Each structure stands twice: as structure tokens, then as C-alpha cells.
Chains A and B, each alone.
Chain A
Amino acid sequence: MIELRNLSKRFVTADGPVEALNNVNLTVNDGDIYGIIGMSGAGKSTLVRCINMLERPTEGSVLLDGRDLGALSKKEMQGVRREVTMIFQSFNLLMQSTCLQNVMFPLKLIHTPKAEAEARARELLTTVGLPDKANVYPAQLSGGQQQRVAIARALATRPRVLLCDEATSALDPKTTQSILELIRQINRDTGITVIVITHQMSVVQEICNRVAILEHGSVVEEGDVSQVFSRPRAAATRALVFPDMAEGQMSSGYGQLVRLIFEGSVTIDKPLIASMAMECGIAANILGASTRTVGKREYGYMLIEIPGGPDELARALKYIGNVPNVSVQVEAAYENKGVAE
């Protein structure tokens, strides 16, 4: 289990201090594939670098099974880094070494006998689907293949936690899929805990079971992926879930923005907007609609505008609230009322 307790990181730069992380609290359970998602500059890399102490937190602590990593000696920390390994956006393979030598690299660091290290490396190259690339140099591989070698290398010391910092961000969608599938398979087979750092929604939806949304160095939302993405509360989450429906983008300026979430299926029994117009006399304005697949379930989203004042809004919410499998979120000014169901 990894626990982040009141974690803060401040960088002192020429232009003054930068608060990269601000009082972050997270718990990652064993076997989780935990997503940490946020826009560029949100502090994701800093967070992941704090987890293996490549970056020393300014305040707070990182606990690995209750052990405070900040209190470890340099030697002990080197040991922890064999239990918590990392893959990167740029793969970071040794370009002057063969794939086999790359995978053997972490084993050589701990003076594993050569024959044993080589056998382990060959086994791992098979696991990642590249048994025939042992004596090939990374420059001759595609990006996806290089990342596979990097994954094999990260697994060499049989770590308990794998940190992935934008591991698929440099890859095309199809290759991304196959790398994510590989990570999921390794998670299933070995029970390794995986922390996935990304700015891509689709990555989290694809493999994570839990997710934290990071914005300006703070966790603004955290929980099960299906929960968080079907009912995004924080504005930052909504911006990630609905990149095509920016807040208030198409609003006519009067009325209240309301987001409808159709659970389980996009189709509903009644043509909701039309019947609301007839039964309540509220003619909602449809601003946008989309569907998302979270885990195995499908969700439909619709952003509408309810004209009029608080009275109309209350009537509309009451009406929609009575429709099964639909939930409502009020945007902006009325946001703190939260989810009405």
C-alpha cells in the first residue's frame, strides 16, 4: 500500500517559488491500477517523482507499507527503488546497449550473476512479446517496441509497484492500446500495483480502477473510475471528461446550465427534453451531447440550458430527478448543491 500524507512540493525558481504539489493525500491499495490524471503542468510528474524520492517532498510523507520513504538512508532508498520501478514517456533506454543488456541493467546494478540475469532478461523479453529482439539495439525498434523493452527492464527486479509517467503519450492510439493491454496483463498475472500518470482520459478509462484528478498541485477529486467519470464533480474533471463541451461555451447567457447523465444506455424511455417542455412548460436548450464508455458501462451525457430563474430550475430538476437512470448536475453558480437524483 502506498500512502501519500499531506504531500507538498515547492520549487524555488528564479521567478519565485512554484507550488507544484499542495497538500496531496492519496492511498493506493495493493493490486490497484491507479490513475493520476491532470492537465500539463498540474504536478503529475512531480507527484510520481516524489513517490520514489527522485524529488524530495517539501512537506508531508510517502509511506510504502507504512515505511516512511523520506526517513530512509540513501542506501535503503536504492533498495526501495528496486521495489518501485518506473517507465517513462521517452522510454529512456540505453541506446548503446542491446535490448538484452537494457533489461539486464537493473540486475547488474545489484550484481546478479550474469547467467541468472540473462535468463531473467530473456524470460522478460518473452513476456513483453519481443523474444527475438535480445541482440538488437533500441534504435532499430519502433516506439511501442522500445516501451516494451522498458517495461521488461522495469520488471527485472520483481518490483511491487510500477510507476508509469505518461508511458503511452508518445505512442499512436493503436500502440497505446497494446501497451495498456500489456500493463493490465502484467497487473493480473503478478498482482503488481501500477500507478498510471497521464493527461489522457482514454488511458484511465481503459485500465484504471481508481483515479485521482490533479489540478494545480491539488487532488480535486478521487475515487473509483466509474464513479468519478460518470458523475464528475470538479470542474477540472468535467473538462477532462467533456473536452468537447467547454463550460458555458455555447450558452445563450441567460438560464442555467445543467448536465444530464444517462446511465447504462444512451437511449431512454421517453424523449426527455420534449416531454419536459410539454409537461412542465420548460423549453430546455440542448448545448451538446456525447457518450463515454467507462469500464464496461456506457454513459450518455447531455449539456442543456434551462431558461428562466431558480423556480424553473427547481421544477426542471424535480422533473428530471424522477426519470429512472438519469442523474443531473447543475453547473457553475448552483454547483455546490451537488448531484440531485
Chain B
Amino acid sequence: MLTPPPPRTRADVAARLPDDQARAWFTEALADATRAATAREAPPAQAPPAPRPAWQLRFVTAGRHCGQDAADAVRALLLIEARADTETLTRLYREGSAAERRAVLLALPSLVDGPQATPLVDDALRTHDTRLIAAAVGPYAAAHLTPHAWRHAVLKCLFTGVPLTAVADLARRAAGDAELARMLAAHAAERTAAGRELSRDLRHALTLTGVPTEEP
């Protein structure tokens, strides 16, 4: 539950939906999203307060139509199909429930090339909602977080019990990171001083840095 699945394909998601009614809804929702993406290629209409496109209401209501288990994947696919830009992603995140925010985070690596959406990741990493944190440390964070922010993200996972399997590219980014090794060792020392166990994830992360530390 804590480890977010990567965005799935249409067929994959459709197969996981509870019934035909949900599948029909999903097909229509994707069609709405496709229409929105195609319409954007036409010259922009000069009417700023345009009504929200239909797919965005589908994005909000996906849970009750597709079931909570499939909702993350359905929402992420809608974002990708609509080719949502950073501005739209930011608005949907800001106006979203925790579940909607998670879907935005999961879709980031497929939709945003540069670091412009990192404020959303930063926002999620400030929360204590483990499902948001897990969704925030995916491939987009691996590609775009600054070293400082990324190290704190790894520590945040350890502090809140988010399994490090959720952290994309952990081995690559951790390798040779002496500062991360120092932070992990300090965390380990703090736990040891308090008579607490070192988690397997903490030992694993220390090992991945490849930096020798005084801690076991």
C-alpha cells in the first residue's frame, strides 16, 4: 500500500476495475482527457475563465466510480492522457484531496521534464501522510530534487516508516554520498543512544552509500 505502483497502461488498469460499469466510466473519462489534449493543440480561445474540462471532474470523482484501489492509477492515467501541463498539475494538486494529490505526484515523471514541479514534491514531503510521502519520492524526485532536499526525503522516509523501496533510484543517488552517509550514521547513533533498534532500511541505506561509517 505504501509503495506506489508506477503508472500502468490502459489495459492493465481496465483489467483491475471492479466491474463493467467502472470500465465504461474509465473509457469515457479517457476519451474526455484525449479530447482535452487534442483541443489544446488548436489556437487558444480568448476567454480566460473557461469552464473546467470534463476530464478534471472525472479526475476528482474517480474513487467512487473505479474503486479506491484503482483510483491512483486511473487518475494518473487521466493526467497523462490529457497531457496536463505544470500549471494544471499544480492547481489540481493544490485543490486536491490527499488521494488526488498522490495521483499528481505519481504522474509527474511522465509529464514534467524540468524541475518546475518540485514545489509539489516539497509540499508532499512536508506532510506526515505516509502515502503522500511515498508518492513524492518516485522517479521525479530522483531526477530533480537537490542533493539536500533528496537526502532529507530519504531520512523522512526512515522517520515515518515509508519503506525505502518507495525511493526511486536510491542505489544510484546514494552511492558515494558522504553527506547522506553522515546523516544516516547520526540518525543511527541517535537511535542506538535511545536504546532503539536500527531498522533494516536504515542499515541498507548506509550500505548503499558505500561510505564507511563508525556505525554497524
A and B are partners in one complex rather than unrelated chains: no
Q: Which A residues are within 8 Å of any B CB, using their own CB?
A: none
Q: Which B residues are within 8 Å of any A CB, using their own CB?
A: none
